[in-house]
């Protein structure tokens, strides 16, 4: 027996519903994330995906303001079929929208921080799970403020080449200080937090467990996952994935690339291996398309988000 033919769609990002697959041609149609319907109405949604096109806090190469666009564009290869590795269509289970982008006030850095926090808090208040496409790593700080206001203090699971614990002064707008600022504000439970893939030396660890790049390679996927689970435990957590955790051989399009990182396969397997943790939100940051080649970095970033979304669907299906 042959399977029934798919019903073609076009511009599903405008014409589709909140659930179910799209069947737009991969090369055409409106480019929302995984072809989800664009909507500012999040009421009743399980999931909202949005972009924060901010790169005014970088210490090296800019360009991450274009990250959300790039990840949306390449994500068109994912929708319309059962997803790997779950073998389910997550949008048969999750009601989801692409919320679009955060409106950032130009030339007002503190205003940008407030805008990210306030708009993400409004989305979270609806009960929707928020997946954020960045943007440089500073955006995680206002995102954490919004999530912690809703869920209480969270464990931080951070994939990164950098610890982001440098001190540029209280209230600094910098992608290299957000962890220190989050600790100062008592947003994260440092005793349950862990950083994976670190390949630089920072002045402090803030009590957070560090698995550096060499350790991550030595432990392998299962070993790293076991360490993360042991550290985080059963409590609520937040996942932040800096694409520079991935080696520049696999993800060259980032602002501060560091050799010796994870392969894209290792990174995705690690994210999948910790899918049962109680994540309350996540972001994928530091994808910088001006330095990318053949969309390799954008594809890796979109795949991290896609894996996370599959895990959310499985979690809902199991309830």
Report the Cα 41 to chain-centroid distance in Å. 21
What distance in Å separates the CA atoms of residue 111 and residue 117, rounded to the nearest whole number?
10
DSSP state of 31: -
Closest by alpha carbon to 300, among 310, 311, 289, 313?
A: 289
**SS3 call for 188:** strand
Q: Which residues pair with 132 in a beta bridge?
A: 50, 283
So where are the chain's domains? Answer: 34-318
What pLDDT, on a 0 to 100 scale, did the predictor assign at position 8?
Answer: 82
Average pLDDT over residues 92-112: 95
Predicted local distance difference test score (pLDDT) of residue 3: 47
CATH of 34-318, one of 3.30.56.10, 3.40.250.10, 3.40.800.10, 3.40.50.150: 3.40.800.10
* CB 9, CB 91: distance < 8 Å: no
Dump pLDDT digits (tens) for 107-163. Answer: 899 999 999 999 999 999 999 999 999 999 999 999 999 999 999 999 999 999 999
pLDDT, tens digit, 9 for 90 and up, residues 18-37: 998 888 988 999 999 999 99
Q: What is the mean pLDDT of residues 6-11?
A: 83
Residues 6+ apart with CB under 8 A from 34: 49, 75, 76, 78, 79, 91, 306, 309
What b/e sequence results for 195-226 when a residue is b if at least 16 CB atoms lie within 10 Å of its CB, and e otherwise? bbbbbeebeeebebbbbbbeebbeeebeebbe
Is 194 within 8 Å of 228 (Cβ atoms)? yes
- pLDDT per residue over 51-93, tens digit each? 999 999 998 999 999 999 999 999 999 877 899 999 999 999 9
Q: What is the pLDDT of residue 5?
A: 54
Q: Residue 297, SS3?
A: helix
Bridge partners (DSSP) listed for residue 196:
159, 211
pLDDT confidence tier of residue 2, bands split at 50, 70 and 90: very low
């Amino acid at each position: 027996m042959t399977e029934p033919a798919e019903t073609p769609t076009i511009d599903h990002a405008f014409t589709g519903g909140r659930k179910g697959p799209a069947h737009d041609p991969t090369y055409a149609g409106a480019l929302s994330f995984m072809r989800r319907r664009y909507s500012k109405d999040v009421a009743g949604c399980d999931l909202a995906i949005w972009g924060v096109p901010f790169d005014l806090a970088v210490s090296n190469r800019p360009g991450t303001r274009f990250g959300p666009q790039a990840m949306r564009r390449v994500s068109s290869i994912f929708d319309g079929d059962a997803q790997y590795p779950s073998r389910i269509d997550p949008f048969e289970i999750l009601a989801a929208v692409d919320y679009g982008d955060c409106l950032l006030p130009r030339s007002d850095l503190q205003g940008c921080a407030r805008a990210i926090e306030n708009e993400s808090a409004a989305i979270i208040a609806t009960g929707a799970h928020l997946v954020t496409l960045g943007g440089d790593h500073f955006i995680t700080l206002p995102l954490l403020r919004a999530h912690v206001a809703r869920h209480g203090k969270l464990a931080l699971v951070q994939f990164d080449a950098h610890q982001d614990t440098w001190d540029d002064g209280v209230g600094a707008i910098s992608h290299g200080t957000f962890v220190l600022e989050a600790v100062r504000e008592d947003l994260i439970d440092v005793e349950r937090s862990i950083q994976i893939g670190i390949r630089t030396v920072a002045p402090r660890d803030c009590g957070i467990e560090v698995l550096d790049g060499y350790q991550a390679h030595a432990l392998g996927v299962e070993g790293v996952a076991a360490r993360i689970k042991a550290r985080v435990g059963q409590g609520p957590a937040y996942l932040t994935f800096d694409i520079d955790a991935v080696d520049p051989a696999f993800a060259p399009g980032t602002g501060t690339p560091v050799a010796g990182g994870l392969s894209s396969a290792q990174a995705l397997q690690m994210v999948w291996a910790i899918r049962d943790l109680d994540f309350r939100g996540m972001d994928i940051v530091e994808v910088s398309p001006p330095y990318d080649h053949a969309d390799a970095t954008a594809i890796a970033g979109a795949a991290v988000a896609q894996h996370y979304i599959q895990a959310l669907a499985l979690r809902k299906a199991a309830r």
